């Protein structure tokens, strides 16, 4: 048990929920599972929660898991509970943390970015109810060994890693703080590794470079558990000169409470659960990883920075937050997807002015959002605007858009089968596909092929002409059949688009008549009419529409000739 260094302070006033209030709301809504039996954080915790992402559980049925009896492989017991899935196991949990409806998230983020609120500095804070510093950090249970950080990918990871960990640093030149979410390898009692994913151009790397040029170590603070608004903001890709705490304030419409760290010149969230303070070395790098990454592969060892710890502070009732990342879908991908899709849509519709874009959908399962992006286009959008949208989506984020596919509104972009269907029948590979070369490989295993460069494939899989209807029963027949299905007590249905037939433009009115006759049982009438249209001058598989078109053209030509003859006769008589 860590030594208590301060008496319980009166909590500062605030206009936003902390993590404890958020968990209480989740529990009241039936979205939190309490696990009171012993759970080994090194071998059992993440695999247990992982099953709801890889076990055929619908997203809406995923929940947060609160582990109150945490142990490890050495039999140690921890006095800090761990919660997994509390930030974004599904969209409903994310929405509750944001405090708004899902369809308002775009507006809330845009308002927060344009109306930031400066934080409030307080002198006493819950996150400093317990303070451990100096040589006391070397005592058993009082350094990093006292924090129940889980192993995310047992069997591959080389250590426990913090996952929902917000690294806070300050620009040595401008003084502006930056906060980003990066993993942290537990390397020792007082040493924490880090991997800032340089392909995403994180602000902390800019700060590290500046500190290194000055021959100084970089002061840092790592937050483990924070009010939801802070966790969400840390995952956003904001400009390096923007203080994320101001944007977090804009999200909730109230200033975020910050308190000065104990041993570094930084401001940290007053309502944080745990704060690790220290200095990031700028002279040496050391190996970090393996670690199961969100791109679906194990990230092998790289040289990365490390942090020497000078202080750990925490709440008395601290709860450690950990997120499921690795293979998508995951908590990490839900958290990014819900906020990134609106940002792409805003870029295309407002910045580039392409009004034909109706939605932007980032493919989540296995591909980790960034690689496959679908643009839902209005059917009337000109071809030039479709291509401008494809190029615009590929250009917004340097690590996103390896495959950008434009489709129409009848295609379900969340269904990879539907995307492949549109690509198969609505895109001509000779004229509807472009390759955008000289792109960064982005987030994922680093191939040495092509000098480490990759490319984007842009595909226009929209309808360019009228097509026949989708060959499924019309909606009214499918809906009636569904009622019978349910009446028979058969397993619950989860309709996948398309689940009924609809017209794609090529459907003459006369064929509607014959279809109505068919369901009424009068199809012999149609048979009699068909017999009257027999021909001996056409080949097998000749489309009727082609013959009708030829007949129509002949009739039209005859009418024109007659008209010309009449005009000629009139002119002669005149």
- What's the confidence (pLDDT) of residue 300? 85
Determine which of 2-11, 196-205, 339-348 has the lowest per-residue pLDDT on average.
2-11
**Segment 292-332, tens digit of pLDDT:** 887 778 888 899 999 999 999 999 999 999 998 878 888 88
Contact predicate 510/533, CB 8 Å: no
pLDDT band at 447 (very low <50, low <70, confident <90, very high): confident
Enclosing H/E stretch for 458 = strand 453-460
**Alpha carbons 269 and 125: distance in angstroms, whole number:** 9
| Separation between Cα atoms, residue 240 and residue 559, nearest integer Å | 72
Output the pLDDT for position 380: 95
In the chain, where are the structural domains located? 19-322, 352-460
The answer to whether domain 352-460 has CATH 3.40.1670.10 is: yes
Q: Which range scores top for mean pLDDT: 293-302, 376-385, 507-516?
A: 376-385
> What's the distance, CA 26 to chain centroid?
21
pLDDT band at 278 (very low <50, low <70, confident <90, very high): very high
Angle, CA of 458, 348 and 424, to the nearest 5°? 30
**pLDDT tens digits, one per residue of 111-157:** 888 899 999 999 999 999 999 999 999 999 999 999 999 999 999 99
In this predicted structure, the answer to whether residue 9 has a pLDDT above a threshold of 70 is: no
In this structure, are residues 394 and 374 in contact, taking their beta carbons and an 8 Å threshold? no
* pLDDT tens profile 415-435: 999 999 999 999 999 999 999
Q: What distance in Å separates the CA atoms of residue 512 and residue 145, rounded to the nearest whole number?
A: 73
Q: Is the pLDDT of residue 378 over 60?
A: yes
Confidence band of 570 (pLDDT split at 50, 70, 90): low
Q: Which pLDDT belongs to residue 5?
A: 58
**For the chain, what is the mean pLDDT?**
90
The SS3 call for residue 161 is strand
CA nearest to 404, candidates 413, 230, 412 = 413
| Closest to 132 measured CA to CA, from 145, 147, 143 | 143
Question: 331 and 231 in contact (C-beta within 8 Å)?
Answer: no
Q: Which of 185, 195, 83, 186 is nearest to 144 (CA)?
A: 186
Phi and psi dihedrals of 410, rounded to 5? -80, -10
Q: Which residues pair with 527 in a beta bridge?
A: none
Q: What is the pLDDT of residue 1?
A: 42
Which tens digit of pLDDT belongs to each residue from 25-49?
Answer: 999 999 999 999 999 999 999 999 9
Task: Give the whole-angstrom CA distance, residue 82 versus residue 98.
Answer: 21
* Residue 241, pLDDT above cutoff 80: no
d(Cα 330, Cα 416) in Å, to the nearest integer?
Answer: 18
Residue 401's pLDDT band, with cuts at 50, 70 and 90, is very high
Average pLDDT over residues 428-443: 89
Q: Cα dist. 339→110, 360, 362 in Å? A: 10, 11, 11
Tell me which residue of 443, 352, 357, 432 sits closest to 397, measured CA to CA: 443
Residue 50: pLDDT over 80? yes
DSSP 378: -
Residue 442 pLDDT more than 50?
yes
Q: What's the burial of 421, exposed, middle or buried (CB within 10 Å: 0-12/13-18/19+)? A: middle
Over pLDDT 70: what percentage of the chain? 93
Does the structure show a pLDDT above 70 at 92?
yes
CA 180 – CA 243 distance, rounded (Å) = 11
- CATH number for region 19-322: 2.30.110.10
According to DSSP, residue 348 is labeled I
Residue 556: is its pLDDT beyond 70?
no
User: 175 — alpha (psi -120 to 50), left (phi > 0) or beta?
Assistant: left
Note the pTM of the prediction, 2 decimals: 0.81
The segment with the largest mean pLDDT, out of 97-106, 180-189, 541-550, 555-564, is 180-189
Residue 366: the pLDDT is 87
Percentage of the chain exceeding pLDDT 90:
69
What's the rounded mean pLDDT across residues 370-380? 95
- Higher pLDDT: 448 or 90? It is 90
The better pLDDT of the pair 1, 363 is held by: 363
| Confidence (pLDDT) at 196 | 85
């Amino acid at each position: 048990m860590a030594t208590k260094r301060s008496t319980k302070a009166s909590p500062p006033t605030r206009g936003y929920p902390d993590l404890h209030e958020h968990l209480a709301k989740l529990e009241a809504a039936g979205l939190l599972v309490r696990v009171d039996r012993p759970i080994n954080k090194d071998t059992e915790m993440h695999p247990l929660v992982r099953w709801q992402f890889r076990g055929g559980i619908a997203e809406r049925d995923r929940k947060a898991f609160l582990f109150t009896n945490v142990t490890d492989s050495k039999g140690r017991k921890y006095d800090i509970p761990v919660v997994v899935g509390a930030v974004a196991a599904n969209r409903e949990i994310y929405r509750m943390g944001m405090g708004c409806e899902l369809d308002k998230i775009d507006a809330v983020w845009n308002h927060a970015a344009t109306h930031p609120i400066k934080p409030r500095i307080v002198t006493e804070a819950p996150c400093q109810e317990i303070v451990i510093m100096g040589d006391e950090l070397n005592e058993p249970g009082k350094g990093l060994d006292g924090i129940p950080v889980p192993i995310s990918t047992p069997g591959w990871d080389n250590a426990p890693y913090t996952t929902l960990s917000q690294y806070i640093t300050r620009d040595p030149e401008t003084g502006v703080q930056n906060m980003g979410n990066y993993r942290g390898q537990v390397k020792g009692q007082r040493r924490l590794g880090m991997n800032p994913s340089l392909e995403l151009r994180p602000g902390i790397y800019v700060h590290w470079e500046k500190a290194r040029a000055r021959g100084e170590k970089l002061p840092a603070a790592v937050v483990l558990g924070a009010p939801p608004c802070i966790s969400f903001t840390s995952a956003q890709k904001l400009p390096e000169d923007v203080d994320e705490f101001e944007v977090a304030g804009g999200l909730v419409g109230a200033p975020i409470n910050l308190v000065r760290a104990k041993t570094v010149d930084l401001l940290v969230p007053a309502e944080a659960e745990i704060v690790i303070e220290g200095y990031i070395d700028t002279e040496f790098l050391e190996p970090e990883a393996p670690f199961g990454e969100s791109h679906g592969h194990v990230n092998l060892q790289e040289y990365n920075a490390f942090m020497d710890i000078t202080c750990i502070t925490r709440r008395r009732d601290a709860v450690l937050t950990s997120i499921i990342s690795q293979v998508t879908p995951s908590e990490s991908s839900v958290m990014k997807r819900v906020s990134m899709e609106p940002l792409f849509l805003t870029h295309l519709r407002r910045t580039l002015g392409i009004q034909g874009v109706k939605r932007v959908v980032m493919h989540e399962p296995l591909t980790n959002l960034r690689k496959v992006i679908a643009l839902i286009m209005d059917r009337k959008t000109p071809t030039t605007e479709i291509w401008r949208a494809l190029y615009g989506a590929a250009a917004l984020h340097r690590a996103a858009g390896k495959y950008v596919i434009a489709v129409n509104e009848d295609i379900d972009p969340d269904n990879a089968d539907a995307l492949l269907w549109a690509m198969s029948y609505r895109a001509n590979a000779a004229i509807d596909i472009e390759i955008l070369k000289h792109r960064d490989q982005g987030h994922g295993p680093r191939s040495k092929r092509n000098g480490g460069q990759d490319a984007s494939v842009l595909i226009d899989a929209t309808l360019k002409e009228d097509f026949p209807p989708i060959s499924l029963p019309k909606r009214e027949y499918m809906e009636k059949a569904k009622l019978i299905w349910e009446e028979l007590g058969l397993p619950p249905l989860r309709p996948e688009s398309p689940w009924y037939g609809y017209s794609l433009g090529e459907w003459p009115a006369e064929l509607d008549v014959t279809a109505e006759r068919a369901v009424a049982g009068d199809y012999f009438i149609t048979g009699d009419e068909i017999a009257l249209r027999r021909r001996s001058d056409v080949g097998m598989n000749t489309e009727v529409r082609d013959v009708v078109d030829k007949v129509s053209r002949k009739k039209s030509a005859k009418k024109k000739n007659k008209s010309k003859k009449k005009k000629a006769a009139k002119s002669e008589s005149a």
